[in-house]
């Protein structure tokens, strides 16, 4: 056992003990964070504009601070970009995490001196929970790879700016630097495909023990390694024992990814976002991810069905229920206030508070009043795949076909890239449709009432999603294709690849 794995065990025990202490006081801890955040930001421009000094309760807070998205927050970001201090949080941000918005263009999400530990320590603590529970720490002594965006940072108004994964790369602990891969020079390559080939050159003969990244891009890494070597990943990396992932629901990728690996290995799910590191899988035996209630974020939750109401109900952590979908709203020591991050979560436990990510509040199909959400299509697809063993899906997206070119009733079009298509495509589509009808009563009513006809699957050629992302300049990094769209922009782009 090496020095890293040896020293990690007492640290893991200490971190988990601290974690258990705040878990036992979750509601109290969240209320304390609300008071602390408001008090510390009272003299900022935002705090003065929203009368933070007059806030004494959660009800006061909800009255003073409306739920907002980036577009609503943008005027305050513009003050920071103009060089001003003490706007959303005391002082200036330490970083801007740069993301691509669908309506706002480039978004600049502030990361403060106070909030950077949320991003860095949470990823570390996820691994320490795993070590404490399983006793497995030897993976720390071998090579670790993080498939991420470029660590090259620009400057906006004197503030270092870049992708969150690139920012995080600058904060990898020194004791892991010597076994982190790929090299800094390779990580700086902007073109994803060039970068991927270089990563393979650097890692293919190394004792890789941990691989981390968004599942579709890890799968692309595996596909290219297998094409080069003709071997399963377990035979290329016999020490590979832990897969760390986040960013998308893993289930649609699970079968193909583990088939590529060729053996079962442990995995850890993370829930990082540019706005904050929200949760991580703290147990190999319990469902869901532990919501991080003591890292500088005060959470609010809006029942998903009420999100688009004029004055939706906002709930604190003590008011949530298991099994319901909630839109996530955060207030943080990065200076985000009443900020809707766009995700929906479902609580699977309230002791402790564990969640699964169920979708995106704006990624749904309701062209006909059905309001089909991401969790429902993923569950339906998983069911159909289980009913048709051997079927493997690389990627998929769903869009409405309001005016079918062939005439007849409108329908939902599922554009699927299969690694291995079902032996009976018609039966597969029927099972998929039937399960979606069971999961969504509105969709069932529309089918039963002959408003919609049953879904149509459009098989896509190999690498269709990669080609689509390349055409959008979004190949690799943290980018991902939405599962659901209420329009046909993505669907038509993918369909053009059929010609």
Predicted confidence at residue 102, as pLDDT, reads 44
pLDDT attached to residue 479: 65
Strand order in the sheet with 154-156: 105-111, 95-101, 159-162, 154-156
Mean pLDDT of 163-190: 86
Mean pLDDT, range 246-253, rounded to an integer:
74
Cα–Cα distances (Å) from 231 to 227, 265, 470, in that order, read 8, 17, 27
What percent of the chain has a predicted confidence (pLDDT) above 70? 97
Is residue 103 very low, low, confident or very high in pLDDT (cuts 50, 70, 90)? very low
- Among 275-279, 421-425, 451-455, the minimum mean pLDDT is found in 451-455
Cβ contact 237:210 at 8 Å: no
- Cα separation, 223 vs 193, in Å, equals 12
pLDDT at 165: 85
Which are the contacts of 241, defined by CB distance < 8 A and separation ≥ 6? 136, 139, 209, 210, 265, 266
Q: How confident is the model at residue 286 (pLDDT cuts 50, 70, 90)?
A: very high
| Pairwise CA distance, residues 113 & 13, whole Å | 27
Higher pLDDT, residue 347 or 498: 347
Q: What is the rounded average pLDDT of the residues 345-349?
A: 96
| Beta strands per DSSP E along 292-387 | 297-303, 325-332, 339-350, 353-360, 364-365, 372-373
Q: How many Cβ atoms from other residues are within 10 Å of residue 261's Cβ?
A: 20
Pull the structure tokens for residue 282.
């703290």
Find the mean pLDDT for residues 154-171: 91
What is the pTM (predicted TM-score) of this model? 0.81
Calpha distance 436→432 (Å, rounded): 6
Torsion of CA 134, 140, 143, 144, to 10 degrees: 70
**Mind listing the pLDDT tens digit for each residue in 406-437?**
888 889 999 999 999 999 999 999 999 999 99
- Given pLDDT bands bounded at 50, 70 and 90, which one contains residue 280? very high
pLDDT at 192 over 60: yes
| Cα angle 439-244-398, degrees, rounded to a multiple of 5 | 30
User: Between residues 38 and 451, which one has the greater pLDDT?
Assistant: 38
The closest of 278, 280, 288, 271 to 339, measured between CA atoms, is 278
> What pLDDT sits at residue 282?
97
* Res. 193 pLDDT band, cuts 50 70 90: confident
pLDDT exceeds 90 at position 88:
yes
Question: Which residues fall within 8 angstroms of residue 303, CB to CB, at 6 or more apart?
Answer: 312, 313, 315, 324, 325, 326, 327
- Which of the listed ranges 360-374, 376-390, 477-491 does the model predict with the highest average pLDDT? 376-390
Sort 330 into a burial class: Cβ within 10 Å, 0-12 / 13-18 / 19+: buried
pLDDT of 315 reads: 98
pLDDT attached to residue 56: 96
Asked if 272 and 244 count as a contact pair (C-beta separation under 8 A), the reply is: no
Count the neighbouring beta carbons within 10 Å of the beta carbon of residue 180: 17
pLDDT in tens, 71-80: 999 999 999 9
* Arithmetic mean of pLDDT over the chain: 91
> pLDDT tens digits, residue range 198-245?
999 999 999 999 999 888 788 889 999 999 999 999 999 999 999 999
CB contact set of 441 (below 8 Å; sequence gap of 6+)? none
The per-residue pLDDT for 477 is 59
- Asked if 164 contacts 478 with a C-beta cutoff of 8 angstroms, the reply is yes
DSSP structural state of residue 114: T
From CA 349, how far away is CA 312, in angstroms rounded? Answer: 24
- Please give the Cα distance from 179 to 181 (Å, whole number): 7
Name the pairing type of β-strands 364-365 and 154-156: unpaired
pLDDT at 62 over 60: yes
Beta-bridge partner residues of 109: 97
pLDDT at 427: 96
For range 25-31, the mean pLDDT:
98
As a whole number, mean pLDDT of residues 90-94 equals 97
pLDDT in tens, 104-119: 568 899 999 999 999 9
Nearest to 397 by CA among 368, 369, 360, 434: 360
Strand partners, 302: 327
pLDDT over 60 (residue 328)? yes
pLDDT of residue 101: 52
Mean pLDDT, residues 265-275 taken together: 94
Distance, in Å, from the CA atom of 32 to the CA atom of 34, rounded to the nearest integer, reads 5
Residue 387's pLDDT is 95
Q: How far apart are alpha carbons 218 and 225 in whole angstroms? A: 11
Is-contact 262 238, C-beta < 8 A? no
**Least confident piece of the model among 180-189, 422-431, 443-452, 474-483:** 474-483
* Strand order, beta sheet including 411-420: 392-401, 411-420, 456-459
Q: Point out which residues pair with 72 in neighbouring strands.
A: none
Q: Is the pLDDT of residue 473 over 80?
A: no
Q: Which two tokens stand for residue 298?
A: 């005060």
| DSSP string across 208-272 | EEEEES-HHHHHHHHHHHHHHHSS-HHHH-TT--EEEEESS-SHHHHHHHHHHH-S--EEEEEEE
Least reliable range by pLDDT among 17-21, 103-107, 314-318, 403-407: 103-107
């Amino acid at each position: 056992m090496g020095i890293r794995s040896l020293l990690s065990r007492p640290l893991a025990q200490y971190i988990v003990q601290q974690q258990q202490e705040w878990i036992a006081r979750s509601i109290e801890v969240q209320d304390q964070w609300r008071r602390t955040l408001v008090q510390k930001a009272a003299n900022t421009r935002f705090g003065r504009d929203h009368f933070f000094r007059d806030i004494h309760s959660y009800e006061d807070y909800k009255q003073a601070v409306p739920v907002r998205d980036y577009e609503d927050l943008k005027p305050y970001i513009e003050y920071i970009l103009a060089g001003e201090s003490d706007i959303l949080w005391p002082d200036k941000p330490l970083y801007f995490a740069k993301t691509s918005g669908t309506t706002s263009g480039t978004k600049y999400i502030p990361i403060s001196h106070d909030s950077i530990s949320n991003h860095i320590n949470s990823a570390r603590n996820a691994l320490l929970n795993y070590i404490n529970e399983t006793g497995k720490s030897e993976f720390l002594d071998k090579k670790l790879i993080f498939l991420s965006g470029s660590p090259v940072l620009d400057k906006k108004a004197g503030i270092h700016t870049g992708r969150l994964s690139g920012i995080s790369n600058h904060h990898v602990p020194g004791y892991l630097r010597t076994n982190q891969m790929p090299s800094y020079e390779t990580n700086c390559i902007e073109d994803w495909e060039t970068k991927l080939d270089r990563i393979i050159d650097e890692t293919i003969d190394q004792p890789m023990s941990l691989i981390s990244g968004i599942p579709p891009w890890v799968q692309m890494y595996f596909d290219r390694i297998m094409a080069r070597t003709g071997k399963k990943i377990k035979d290329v990396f016999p020490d590979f024992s832990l897969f760390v992932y986040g960013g998308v629901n893993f289930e649609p990728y699970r079968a193909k990814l583990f088939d590529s690996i060729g053996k079962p290995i442990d995995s850890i799910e993370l829930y990082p976002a540019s706005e904050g590191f929200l949760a991580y899988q703290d147990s190999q035996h319990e469902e869901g991810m532990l919501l991080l209630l003591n890292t500088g974020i005060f959470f609010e939750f809006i029942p998903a069905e009420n999100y688009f109401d004029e004055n939706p109900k906002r709930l604190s952590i003590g008011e949530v229920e298991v099994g319901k979908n909630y839109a996530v709203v955060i207030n943080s020591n990065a200076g985000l206030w009443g900020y809707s991050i766009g995700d929906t979560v479902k609580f699977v436990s309230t002791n402790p508070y564990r969640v699964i990510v169920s979708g995106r509040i704006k990624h749904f199909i309701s062209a006909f009043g059905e309001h089909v959400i991401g969790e429902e299509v993923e569950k339906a697809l998983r069911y159909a795949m289980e009913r048709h063993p051997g079927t493997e899906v690389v990627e998929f997206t769903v869009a409405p076909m309001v005016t079918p070119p062939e005439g007849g009733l409108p329908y939902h079009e599922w554009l699927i890239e299969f690694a291995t298509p079902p032996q009976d495509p018609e039966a597969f589509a029927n099972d998929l449709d039937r399960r979606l009808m069971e999961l969504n009563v509105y969709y069932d009513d529309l089918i039963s009432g002959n408003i919609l006809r049953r879904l149509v699957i459009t098989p896509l050629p190999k690498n269709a999603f990669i080609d689509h992302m390349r055409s959008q300049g979004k190949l690799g990094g943290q980018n991902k294709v939405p599962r659901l769209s209420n329009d046909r922009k993505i669907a038509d782009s993918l369909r053009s690849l059929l010609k």
